[in-house]
Chain A
Amino acid sequence: MRPKHKILVIDDEEVVLDSCTQVLSAGDCHVATAPNGTDGLKLVETFEPELVFIDLKMPGLSGFEVLERLRTNHPEIEAIVITGYATVSSAIEAMKKGAFDFLPKPFTPEELRLITRRALEHRELARQAAALRREKEMLRENFAAIVSHELKSPLGAIQQNLYALIDELGDKLSDEQKDRLVRLKKRVDDLLNLIHSWLRVFSVDLSKLKENFRPLELATVVARAVDIVHQHAVRKSVEIEVAVPGDLPMVSGDEGSLTEVVVNLLNNAVKYSFANSKVTVRAGTQDGEVFLSVIDTGVGIAKEDLKHLFQDFGRGRKQPEGAEGCGLGLAISKRIVEVHGGSIEVQSEPGKGSAFTVRLPVARADMDVVTNPSTGSQT
């Protein structure tokens, strides 16, 4: 047998309390009553009703006040107002404040039963919707744990054994065999990095980066990023030219993630560049903002692809040979820049090249320039 529905009726008229109790108790409801708002709110805490009827006009605490407190403290409880002076305006006012419906006095037992059933059904639907939302939210939050255990663990085990085998078989294998093992290791590394990127997009709360914001020199960020991309550029015979003025104002941000943005932009620029061309990093100030542009003279981006560029998995269709990537770099970059209060945009012409520009607000002068090492970004 399912438990009875708990219903609370708050009304100063004893006859209303009595008749409601009689009508609803005959169904599958357990009814409690209170003669005024103060007692009613107390009873809400102990009785834990699913539905509360509130008389709007009572001595002491008014029905509106009871309704307001109920909505604030227990949004999961449905409320129906009983309007003695059956004015539509007060009923509408109550519904604006979150009542599910109103019941004008005098009412018939049938009206009471109907409105009660509707309210309980409404509550059940709302509860189910909330449970689904919660489930979805939990799935998202636990995505990191699920993916990491189901995908990363086996890959980690494979990689660990490749490491060990390369180490142990070093003097037994031919160069060609060693090379194959090293290439296998690289493939597994790429997979692990890919999973890491997915996790960043789907489950890492980038807004938490704000906790680590501190004043930064963009020149430092650019230098670090160029350092990371350098190898890639050399292999493709692409030169990276940096033109960042020394007197650039500081920006406020998280060094690690901003470096990630510049690395993503530089990697893309190098990837889509032709051999023996040049990628330029330019920075300056414009309209009170600091801008940083990464400009290449590579394949460029078709107009129809531009609008999907910053979306998850959005890759340009025209792929130069050997350009691999998961199409998440720009999506992550956009999110990181937006968390910094900035924007990112692209200008491109197929066959001529692309220019990605990041704009960031200038760090406020009153910001603490002496950085506290304990708040620095963790690696």
Chain B
Amino acid sequence: MNQTKKLLIIDDDPDFVAGMKSILVKANYEVDVAYNPKDGLQALQTKPYDLLLLDIMMGRGAEGIMIARKLGKDPKLRNLPVLIITGIREQMAFLFPGQAVHPHFVAVDELVEKPVEPKLLLEKVEALLKTAEARKGQSK
């Protein structure tokens, strides 16, 4: 393996984050955390990350979706792979009526439901990183 991958978690539930972070840290990832969308966006602007884990249902509404939409519009961040974490599938369907439940905000993203089994979490993170890398290689 080359250098340690840097991940950012944006999620407003510190306890949930703790449970995710320890799994990722144990698997040798470097993990930063932002507990609100504002800090999250700032972190993304100031530090390069290899992957974002994004809670889609933060705060009152779907503030996570706002972040995902912003990422999609940002030419620098558009290629950042995103693992979307959602509390419940029905809400996703409700927010995107008539669409596939997985909305594809950015080029490389995946969706998992809370809570996430460690094995599944690590598999998804690894797969997303691999896909993003392969895309980078292609575009060069």
Residues of A at under 8 Å CB distance from B?
Answer: 144-145, 148-149, 152-154, 156-164, 167-168, 199, 203-204, 378
Specify which chain A residues have a CB less than 8 angstroms from the CB of B15 in the assembled complex. Answer: 154, 157-158, 160-161
Q: Interface extent on B, as a size class?
A: 20 to 34
Given A152-B114, A156-B115, A164 contacting B88 (CB threshold 8 A) = no
Given A164-B22, A167-B23, A153 contacting B16 (CB threshold 8 A) = yes
Given A148-B87, A168-B26, A157 contacting B19 (CB threshold 8 A) = yes
**B8 shortest CB reach to chain A, Å:** 17
Flag whether B32 is at the interface (Cβ < 8 A).
no
B 8-43 contacts with A by CB, 8 A: 13, 15-16, 18-20, 22-23, 26
Specify which chain A residues have a CB less than 8 angstroms from the CB of B115 in the assembled complex. Answer: 156-157, 159-160, 163
Specify which chain B residues have a CB less than 8 angstroms from the CB of A156 in the assembled complex. Answer: 13, 16, 87, 114-115
Residue of A nearest to B102 (CB): A378
Report the separation of the CA atoms of residues A244 and B118 in the bound assembly, to the nearest whole angstrom: 40
A-contact 0/1 string along B50-92, CB 8 Å cutoff? 0000000100000000000000000000000000000110110
Contact between chains at A199 and B26 (CB < 8 Å): no
Specify which chain B residues have a CB less than 8 angstroms from the CB of A162 in the assembled complex. Answer: 19
Contact between chains at A144 and B116 (CB < 8 Å): no
Report the separation of the CA atoms of residues A152 and B91 in the bound assembly, to the nearest whole angstrom: 12
A-contact 0/1 string along B87-125, CB 8 Å cutoff? 110110010000011000000000000111110000000
Residue of B nearest to A144 (CB): B90
Contact between chains at B116 and A160 (CB < 8 Å): yes
Contact between chains at B26 and A161 (CB < 8 Å): no
- Pick the contact of A199 from B16, B20, B88 — CB < 8 Å? B88
Specify which chain B residues have a CB less than 8 angstroms from the CB of A161 in the assembled complex. Answer: 15, 18-19
Residue of A nearest to B60 (CB): A149
Report the separation of the CA atoms of residues A152 and B118 in the bound assembly, to the nearest whole angstrom: 19
Report the separation of the CA atoms of residues A378 and B87 in the bound assembly, to the nearest whole angstrom: 17
List, sorted by A's number, 17 A–B pairs whose CB atoms are closer than 8 Å: A144-B90, A145-B91, A145-B94, A148-B88, A148-B90, A149-B57, A152-B87, A156-B13, A157-B15, A157-B19, A160-B20, A160-B114, A161-B18, A163-B23, A163-B115, A164-B22, A204-B90
Residue of B nearest to A208 (CB): B93
Report the separation of the CA atoms of residues A160 and B19 in the bound assembly, to the nearest whole angstrom: 5
Report the separation of the CA atoms of residues A346 and B108 in the bound assembly, to the nearest whole angstrom: 50
Specify which chain B residues have a CB less than 8 angstroms from the CB of A163 in the assembled complex. Answer: 19, 23, 115-118
Residue of A nearest to B116 (CB): A160
Contact between chains at B16 and A160 (CB < 8 Å): yes
Contact between chains at A164 and B118 (CB < 8 Å): yes
Report the separation of the CA atoms of residues A193 and B116 in the bound assembly, to the nearest whole angstrom: 15
Specify which chain B residues have a CB less than 8 angstroms from the CB of A378 in the assembled complex. Answer: 100-101
**Among A144, A154, A167, A199, residue most surrounded by chain B Cβ atoms (within 10 Å):** A167
Report the separation of the CA atoms of residues A154 and B18 in the bound assembly, to the nearest whole angstrom: 13
Known A160-B114, A164-B22; 12 more pairs at CB < 8 Å: A144-B88, A144-B91, A148-B91, A149-B87, A153-B87, A153-B114, A156-B13, A156-B16, A156-B87, A160-B19, A161-B19, A378-B100
Please list the 9 inter-chain residue pairs (A to B) with the smallest Cβ-Cβ separation, ordered nearest first. Answer: A160-B19, A161-B19, A159-B115, A157-B15, A156-B114, A157-B16, A160-B115, A148-B88, A164-B19
**Among B19, B22, B26, residue most surrounded by chain A Cβ atoms (within 10 Å):** B19
**B108 shortest CB reach to chain A, Å:** 20
**A291 shortest CB reach to chain B, Å:** 31
Report the separation of the CA atoms of residues A191 and B92 in the bound assembly, to the nearest whole angstrom: 21
Given A156-B16, A160-B115, A167 contacting B26 (CB threshold 8 A) = yes
Specify which chain B residues have a CB less than 8 angstroms from the CB of A168 in the assembled complex. Answer: 22, 26
Specify which chain A residues have a CB less than 8 angstroms from the CB of B87 in the assembled complex. Answer: 148-149, 152-153, 156
Report the separation of the CA atoms of residues A167 and B115 in the bound assembly, to the nearest whole angstrom: 14
Specify which chain B residues have a CB less than 8 angstroms from the CB of A145 in the assembled complex. Answer: 91, 94
**A181 shortest CB reach to chain B, Å:** 13
